[in-house]
Amino acid sequence: MTCQDNDEAMVKELLKRGATVDARDGEGYTPLLVASYQARDVRMIKLLIVAGADVKATSSKSRRTAIMLAASSLNLEAVKLFLDFGVDACAKDTSGETAVDAANAHYIEDSEKHRLELEARGAIINLLQISCTSTKK
């Protein structure tokens, strides 16, 4: 599917014609996983979820989750959405990294120009840490 291009009209047409919403690419990523990393908002993500995409799917090789991918691209809105859907914020990929690690790995120059990214990363990390703490109780 063309989720990496954020082409909602094309995705809707493909779904209407019977495309498999949880099909995997060569790296084992579903369209939802791709959208989780590349979407700048949640429209494509919501479109795929409504079409039946598995929000708890992981990539085949690295076992990365949608929340990890959204956190790594600092998409706060998507992280919140996945938390609402019960995606495990504490899950670890094959290298032992979590969504918090994914958010921290995103290098941001500490400057006024990147203030919003720094704020988004802080909010994402806070949400994920709260979620992990509350699930351990």
pLDDT per residue as tens digits for the range 85-133:
999 999 999 999 999 999 988 666 666 667 778 888 899 999 999 999 8
- Please give the pLDDT value at position 129: 93
pLDDT at residue 104 in the model? 87
Domain 3-136 matching CATH 3.40.640.10: the answer reads no
Question: Residue 40: what pLDDT?
Answer: 79
Helix 8-16, helix 43-50: angle, nearest 10:
10
In this model, does residue 6 exceed pLDDT 90?
A: no
Domain boundaries, the chain: 3-136
Q: 2 φ, ψ to 5°?
A: -100, 45
Q: What is the pLDDT of residues 31-52, one digit of tens each?
A: 999 999 998 789 999 999 999 9
